[in-house]
A = this chain, B = another copy of it.
Amino acid sequence: MAGVNKVILVGNLGADPEVKYLEGDNTVANLRLATTEAYKNRNGERVEQTEWHDLEMWGAQAKIAEQYLKKGSQIYVEGKIKTDSWQDEQGQNRYRTRIRVLSFTMLGSKPDGAGNPSAPQQSTQQRPASSAPTSAPKAQEMVSDTEDDDLPF
């Protein structure tokens, strides 16, 4: 049956995106995103808890990430949870969970301080493949996961 698998994150990148150019003109970017919550415990002390997320972007989106995102960038992310499983050499089941990014938006008006045209406000979003940008998108534009593959997104 048709289900829903949706993730919404706001956080900061722990490192620059790692981008790989694959055969067939495909591109994938892997990013580490930290989401931190701060709260008071029962003693009234302030506690911070950080969760790290493995993000995966494909195609034009990966290239935008490479161009505009870097360590410390604050982004809004929408995506879905994907867990890969396999057996390791000891025959044990192993799992790795990632967030497949469907759209993202750069946050903060001046990600890198004023006067930095190379790191502009940037965002991506679901767009039909037919209208995918043929070149790197301008700043302040919605760009999306436009992979022309069999994947539902």
Contacts and interface: CB of A to CB of B under 8 A. Distances in A.
A131 B42 CA distance: 8
Contact of A1 (B9, B121, B150): B121
The number of times this chain is found in the oligomer is: 4
Contacts of A42: 131, 149-150
A81 B51 contact: yes
A61 B107 CA distance: 22
A21 B60 CA distance: 37
B2 A9 contact: no
Interface residues of A, number: 71
Given A40-B131, A95-B95, A108 B9 contact: no
A111 interface: yes
B96 A36 contact: no
Nearest to A12: B111
12 contacts: A2-B125, A4-B8, A4-B11, A4-B35, A12-B111, A38-B142, A40-B141, A51-B82, A52-B83, A53-B83, A74-B108, A81-B97
